[in-house]
Each structure stands twice: as structure tokens, then as C-alpha cells.
Structure 1
Amino acid sequence: MRRRILLTAVAVCALGIAVLFVPFSLLVRDQSRAEDLLELQRMAAVAAHRIPDPAFGVIEMPQLGDGESEHFYAVYDRAGRRVAGDGPATADPVVAAALTQTAAAGVIGDEIIGAVALGPGGGEVTGAVRVTEPLAESFARTRDAIAGILGLALAAIAIAAVAGSWLFRRLLLPLDRLRSAAGRLGDGDFTVTAPRSGLPELDQVAAAVDSAAERIGRLVERERAFSADASHQLKTPLAAAKVVVETELMVPRADRTAVLHETLEALDRMTATVTQLLTLARDDHSARAPIPVDRLLTDAEQRWASAFHRAGRRLHVDDGAGVDVHASATALAHVLDVLLDNALHHGAGSVALAARRVAQGVVVTVADTGSVARSADQMFHRRQPGAGGTGIGLALARTLADAEGARLRLQEPDPTTFELLLPTSPASPIQRRA
């Protein structure tokens, strides 16, 4: 990746320079040639002030130039004949133009030429001064100027390579951090938070990684909770079915249909429990319809009446709330099942299931005549899967209640009374906890 970024930066820079280099070099060449011609004209004008008028006959050339560059001087009379200096015997086109136009410049053969007319006081033209230099010298100056431009171009390409390397390091660090966060997510760390770099595009990827980690974590936690909760919640219907079969084996009853009905009832409860737990594990809280509280309590009474009757205990239901709540019927039914199962197996005496209105919504209570020795916090602490006694069911019930925006707590330890507060208006559900 680093090599591709560097090659891209250098290629783009080189392409831009190549597009501009050729026309710019031609412009430099033309500009250099024009400056050379103007310089020769200037030198001819300077020399004109030091050279005698050719109208007076043969003249002697003074010492001209700086002695360091190859410049050649010649003087021509008005007729175009050379009277002094180095040059052709007769006027060339540049000199001829200077005799008629005061000044002229141009390139002839391998020389560049500048010429200026001579005349006392700027009056009648009496001759012309011709200054030349080899064309190779002009080419050398142009070549040096273009070489300087080429050096700047190469420096620009080198700067582009350095900038590309810096950009690579600037991008590589947050990318390495994102890769590390993605690796942790792949290893099962769903609490990972991808670092932000300040680059909007990379920060969007980091936000997507965070969102994926949160969603995957919720799904995994739900599946883990399902396996633990299912093992606990299936104990009651399995125990009921086992009791029916063992009782029938020890003391056979004449009515075999009743035995089958009781066994099928226990199996139906197991099927319903698995279905409910799967529904809750995959619930995304996307929709909540109004549910009559009275119906929730009546349904719970129908599910548990026979179990309390077989245990020789009484279940009293007071469904007089007459109000609806916005929650999952499956979740609330499961919470009530946990509370009633806890009262049946760990409580004493008759059990009262009641509902009443309060300012915040509806309070559903499950009370028996027993007592608990543990604190309220210990009552809802999730124990390890497979542990005996209470703990997993109540922890599950509180988790489900929290997910529906409700609140489950131990109101009284003696007599044991659990309280479930249900809001009557739709609430933002709390995500399920393990």
C-alpha cells in the first residue's frame, strides 16, 4: 500500500510537470532569444557612441566589449560597405534593416545579430554598427535556464514523494488502529471502541465498527442468556412431568387419560417455554402494542392454577387494574412465571397476584406468607448456570423487566412480596443484560 501511494503521488506530480514543462521550456527559449537580441542591440547602441562617423573615411575600431565573451563588432557606411571590424564585406539583411529602421536584430546562420544606425545628433544616417555572437552561446544560456527549471521540477517530484510518504504515515496509523480494533472484535471482544483519527472517512468506518461490535455483542449475549435461562426455566415443567410419571409408576390410577393430560400439559409448558425464550432472545424491541394488565394476570392464573392445586396451595388473582401497558406480552408473561414459580417452590402458604394503579403506571405484586433471608441485591444476582436454588430465574426476570422499561424489586422480605412497576406510556427499552 505504501508503494502504491508513493507511486501515485509521484506519477501525478510528474504528469502535471510534464504537461507544463514543454510549453514552459518553449516560452523560456523564446524569451531568452528575445533578451539576447535586445542585449545585442543595446551593445551596438553603446558602441555607436564610441565609434567615429564612417562618413570621414576609414576608421579605427576602439577596444569594445568586456574581453570575456565572444562578441564581434563591425561598422558599415551608408552604402552598406564594411569599413571596419569583423563582419561580411557588405551589409547583411539585419544591417540593411538598421540602416533604414534605425535598429534591427535577428539570426543569420550560426550567429545572432544586433545592429544600430549611426548618425551625428540623430540626424541623417551615415552608417551602422553590427554586433554578433555565436548562436551556440545563446543556446547554452537557454539550456542552462531550462536545466534550472528541470531541477525545480525534479525537486517538486521529490517533495511529492516526501509528501506521499508523510500522507501514508498519516493514514497508516489510524488504519492500524482500526485493524487492531477489528481484530479484537473478531476475537470476541465486543466492548472494543475503534479510535477516532479526525479524518471523516476513517471516523465513519470506526463508527461502523463500533456499531457492529455493539450489535454482535447484544446478539451473542442474548444467545448465551438463552442457553442459561432455558436450562433453568425448563426445570419446572420437566420436574412436573417426572412427578406425574413417577407417581403413576408407584401408584397407578384408574383414569389413564388424566395421566396423559398432565404429562401433555407439562410437555406443552416446556414447548411454550422454549418458544418464549427464543422469542425474547431475538426480540429487537421494534414494536410494542398496548396490553391489558388484567389479561396478563388472567393468563398467568390459567397457566399456574393446576400446579398450585397439585401442591395443595391457593393462588388468588386480583386483576382489577383495568389499564393497558406498552410492553412485550411474552416478556411480561415470563416475568410473572418466574415470580409465581419462585413463590410455588420457595415460598409458603397462599399466593396473591394483584395489580393496582399508581402515579407512574401499574404495580403488579406477587406475595406469599414465606420469608427470605437474603438481601434484595442478592435475590437478583445471577448465579452460574447449573447452580441449585434461586438466582437464575429472578435475575432473568429483572433483565426482562429492565428491557421493557419496567422495574422489578423485592418489596418485603417477610412476608415475601415482589413488586413489578409497569409504565403505562411507551418507554425507551433498556437493552438486555446478561
Structure 2
Amino acid sequence: MRRPGQWPLAAQLALAFALVTVLALGGSGALLLYQSSARLLAGRAESTLAWGQAAAGLAAEYWSDPREGMTLALYRFHQQSGIRPVVVDTDGRVVADVSSETPLLGERLTHPELQAALAGRTATGTRRLSTGEWVMYGGVPVVVSGEQVGAVLVAAGIGAVRDAQRDLLRQLALVAGAMAALAVLLGVLLARYLTRPLVRLRAAVARLARGQLDARVEPGGSSELRDLGHGFNRMAEELGRLDQQRRAFVADASHELRTPIAAIRALAEPLLSDRPIDVAVYKEHLHDIVHECERAGRLVNSLLELARLDMRAESRSQVSQAAEPIDLRRVAVEVVHALEPLAAERGVRLAILPGEPVMARADAHLVEAVLGNLVENGIKYTPRGGAVQVSVGVNVDGDRTEGGASLSAGSERAGAAERRRRAGGERDGAASQRPVAWIKVADTGIGIPKEHQARIFERFYRVDKARSRATGGAGLGLAIAAEAAARLGGRIHVASESGRGSEFTFTLPL
């Protein structure tokens, strides 16, 4: 059996609404019953004391003749009022009683109301007799010539008051029952209305869990539920986008890996034939196989680097723990030194411009990943006889207008990039308030057409696929640089024109 906490939310809301209503009605009904009973009893006590004072007046008038005159006068009083008076002396002994069934003459009474009356005070009290009847007693002093000579005890039935209380209780119970039923009905309707968005959201979550990434909900209900619905839709859209990226990434990676594998197979199959093969052709095929293996290895290394960057994106604490004070110029010198053999092989002049040390707190491995991919990209797409230059600096005032030494077309490209950035509203407000370090990589290569510049940081995107494969590229270098820059909290800006080279600027907040 389910516990109440395990019931559906609609049932819990309906039950809670009904309980609150019943408790509120019960509490108010009990208060009303108490106050009504108190008013009825107070009115009855007032009338009882009034009859008691009247009886005390008759007793005082006939005090000298209690057996004849007083008894007769009190009997008449009893006949008119229906109230039984009993008169006692100062010792509490009965001197007059109108009852013929249970006469109390000569007996000593100890009723609290009578004791209070003998002490000179009027008092009332209610008690239940052995017969089950409720009676109200009232005690009133009897004063003759300014001296108290006894007291009168009167008794009045209060069955009518008790009947009125029971009637009121029944009416309250009927009203409370009807209101409780109505509260349950309203609670169910209200709970269904309130939980309808949650039911839709639960169904959408179940669809999403089954892999239906197009699951959406129509936000409704309270403002919190509407915000929850919008948040779910945004989450589903993001999951769909990530799934599309994953599928595209897997497809692109499979395609890129299939190309060198197919080439290796095509080169290896002739070597397995029984036909005699010239040694030069044999060596050429082996050389091409080694080249394709190296190409596949570079692709796998790039994929692993992207995977590591994605893992770092999921744990920012790892990025902050790996950060340490580093000299960006020293890192740039090491990267340039490591890539000088590649530049010499392609006939490209690679140099780093002189300058002062620039200290920053960052992950050195990520900075090397950004700079290494930018420099390698510049070398690959710069024709023989061209140049790639690296410069490092800091803008103390936070202005990102690109300045300093660069290639001949660098200042013009930087100015154009700045104008485009301002027109596009890309200025970072935080960067304008804090100093930033920058590392520029400028080349005299083939340049990037404007229509491709917005997509060059996408994974596997290549401006000229045939030319990229010829240079050994898979479209991952700039994607790795962009991911590493994002992990560092920096950005990469590009300024390029076809046939005039490119300039990449990596900015890092200090």
C-alpha cells in the first residue's frame, strides 16, 4: 500500500486542500459552538439569579412564618416560574421546601452555590443529576432588616440549552461535511489544473529519455511552471543540437579516417600480388603508406586533443587547478622553435618579434595548443617564400584595437576587423574594463574569403577541401585552438583577405 507521500501530486494536493478546509471549518465550528453555549448559559444564569432574587424576597417577607406563609408563597412562585426554591438558615439547614416528593426539611445542604450565598455572594453552577438531567443551581442571600438570615437555593432545568447545543452541533457537522465534500471536489479540480503542466512535462521527459530529442512541452500554469517548461524546451533544444554535433562529428571523423585507410589498402594490395615489382615502385608505395599512416595518426591525435578539451570543459576546477603564472612570450618562443623544422621544410620564414615578457595566469598546455595550431595553420597555408610572424603584447587600458608590429597588410586587416567588430556589436564589456594579453600570428598566405571566416573554427570545416587534404589538414586545427581558447576564457579574432594573408589574434584576460 502506498504511503501518502507516494501518492500522485494531484491526490496529495486534493487531500491537503480538503484537510485544511475541514480543519478550518472544525476549528471555527468549535469556536462558534463554545461561544454560543457560553452565551446561552450566561443568559440562563442571569435569569436563574433573577428568579432566585425574587424567591429570596418572598423568603425575607415570610421569614417569621416559614412553615405556613413562606411555604405557600414559594409554592405559588414555583407554580408560576417552574423553578424549585429551597430556603436554608445560616447553618445551611432547610427551613422551607416546596417539593412534596423529596422534601428536604431539616437537612443540611452543602451545595457550592449555597455556601457562596451564605457568605453573602450570589453564584450559579451546572451539574448533571443521577437521572441524566442537567440542572443549573443558583444561590442568593436572604436579608431581613439589613441582616442575612439565610439563603435561597433555586434549581432550573437547562435541557433546552443542551438541546440547542446539540442542534447547533448537528448543523455544524452537516455544514462541515458538505463543505468538506465540496473542498475535495474543488481540490481535485484545482490539483488537476495545477499538475497538468507537470503531467505534460513528465510525458516529455519520458519521451526525451527514450531518445526522442524532438520532445517539447507547451509551457503553462504558474510562473514557476512556465519557467520550468521553457527551461525544459531549452534543454531539449541543446541536447538536440549536441546530438546533431555528435552525429556530424562521428560521420566526419569516420570519413576522414576512411580516406587514409582506403589509400593504405590501395597502396598495399599491389605489393601482395605475385607479379614482380620494381624496388623503386615498392619503396614509393611504402613511403606513401607511411605518409598516410602519419596522416591518420595526426587525425587521431587531433581527435584525442578535442576529447581532452571537452573533458576539461566539463570540469572547470581542473582548468583552474592547472593554471599557473607563465610568461606568454616564453611559451611563444618555445612553440616557434618547435615548428621551425616544419616551416623550413615548406620554405616559409617563421619568426617571433622582439618584446617584453608578458606574465599571465593560465594553463600552459592550453596556451601551447592555441598558439601551436595557429602557427601550424599559418605555415600550411603560406606559399613557399612567404613568412609567418608571431608577436606578444598586452593592452593595459583593455582596448583591443590591434596594434604593434605585424606584416605589411596587418594594420589594414586589423582596422577592418575592428570596424566589423564594432558594427556587429561584438565588443566585450568586461574586456574593455580589464587589461588583456594578446598573441598575434600573421602570415602572407592565401587568405580566407569573407564568406568562410565565420565557420573556419568549426570541426572538420575546410575552405578548400582538396587543398586542405594536400597539406595534410583535416579541419581540426582551428577548432582545437578555439576550444582551448574558450577553456582559458579567451577569444580568437581573425582578419583576412583572399590573396593577402591572414592575422589571428588570441586575446587572454589578465
TM-score (norm 2): 0.56
Which residue does 2:427 correspond to in 1? Answer: none
Which digits, 9 at most, give the CA deviation of each residue in 1:284-338, with x for residues without a partner?
Answer: 34437657224434544545766x5xxxxx3333345687885354455445555
Shift of 1:170: 7.9
State the alpha-carbon separation in 2 of the partners of residues 398 and 156 from structure 1. 71
Change beyond 3 A, Cα 1:191–1:364: farther
Report SS of the residue matched to 2:103: coil
Change beyond 3 A, Cα 1:98–1:76: farther
1:89 maps to 2:123: no
Q: Contact 2:493/2:505 (CA < 8 Å) preserved in 1?
A: yes
Which digits, 9 at most, give the CA deviation of each residue in 1:1-39, with x for residues without a partner?
Answer: 212332245457768999999999999989977875565
1:132 maps to 2:155: yes
Change beyond 3 A, Cα 1:236–1:389: farther
Which residue does 1:311 correspond to in 2? Answer: none
Which digits, 9 at most, give the CA deviation of each residue in 1:100-134, with x for residues without a partner?
Answer: 45556564544623343433344242x65553333
Which residue does 2:492 correspond to in 1? Answer: 407
Report SS of the residue matched to 1:254: helix
What is the correspondence of 1:235-274 to structure 2 with a 5 Å cutoff? 252-254=278-280, 256=282, 259-274=285-300
Larger displacement relative to structure 2 (267-276 or 284-293): 284-293
Which residue does 1:378 correspond to in 2? Answer: 452
RMSD: 5.8
* Count of aligned pairs between the two proteins: 407
State the alpha-carbon separation in 2 of the partners of residues 255 and 319 from structure 1. 42
State the alpha-carbon separation in 1 of the partners of residues 353 and 259 from structure 2. 29
Shift of 1:90: 2.7
User: Which amino acid is 1:367 matched to?
Assistant: T
| 1:316 aligned to which of 335, 343, 349 | 349
Shift of 1:421: 1.1
State the alpha-carbon separation in 2 of the partners of residues 350 and 124 from structure 1. 138
Change beyond 3 A, Cα 1:266–1:247: same
User: Which amino acid is 1:356 matched to?
Assistant: S
Change beyond 3 A, Cα 1:224–1:196: farther
1:296 maps to 2:335: yes
Which residue does 1:53 correspond to in 2? Answer: 62
What is the correspondence of 1:127-166 to structure 2 with a 5 Å cutoff? 129-134=152-157, 136-144=159-167, 146-147=169-170
State the alpha-carbon separation in 2 of the partners of residues 55 and 99 from structure 1. 20
What is the correspondence of 1:178-327 to structure 2 with a 5 Å cutoff? 179=202, 182=205, 187-188=212-213, 216=239, 220=243, 223-224=246-247, 226-227=249-250, 229-230=252-253, 252-254=278-280, 256=282, 259-283=285-309, 284-285=312-313, 286=316, 287=319, 292-300=331-339, 302=341, 308=346, 314-319=347-352, 327=366
State the alpha-carbon separation in 2 of the partners of residues 282 and 221 from structure 1. 20
| 2:94 aligned to which of 80, 83, 103 | 80
Q: Percent identity at matched positions?
A: 20
User: Which amino acid is 1:188 matched to?
Assistant: L
1:420 maps to 2:504: yes
Change beyond 3 A, Cα 1:11–1:221: same
Which residue does 2:52 correspond to in 1? Answer: 44
State the alpha-carbon separation in 1 of the partners of residues 338 and 263 from structure 2. 19
User: Which amino acid is 1:412 matched to?
Assistant: E
State the alpha-carbon separation in 1 of the partners of residues 253 and 340 from structure 2. 22
Which digits, 9 at most, give the CA deviation of each residue in 1:313-369, with x for residues without a partner?
Answer: x3333345687885354455445555555x3xxx7654433323455522112333x
Shift of 1:140: 2.3
Which residue does 2:144 correspond to in 1? Answer: 120
Which residue does 1:353 correspond to in 2? Answer: 388
Larger displacement relative to structure 2 (357-366 or 246-255): 246-255
Stretches of structure 1 that go unaligned for 5 or more consecutive residues are 309-313, 428-434
1:365 maps to 2:442: yes
Shift of 1:276: 1.4
1:5 maps to 2:13: yes
State the alpha-carbon separation in 1 of the partners of residues 389 and 165 from structure 2. 104
Q: Contact 1:298/1:319 (CA < 8 Å) preserved in 2?
A: no
State the alpha-carbon separation in 1 of the partners of residues 491 and 86 from structure 2. 114
Shift of 1:274: 2.0
Which digits, 9 at most, give the CA deviation of each residue in 1:249-300, with x for residues without a partner?
Answer: 9995538557535422431221221231233145134437657224434544
State the alpha-carbon separation in 2 of the partners of residues 269 and 96 from structure 1. 118
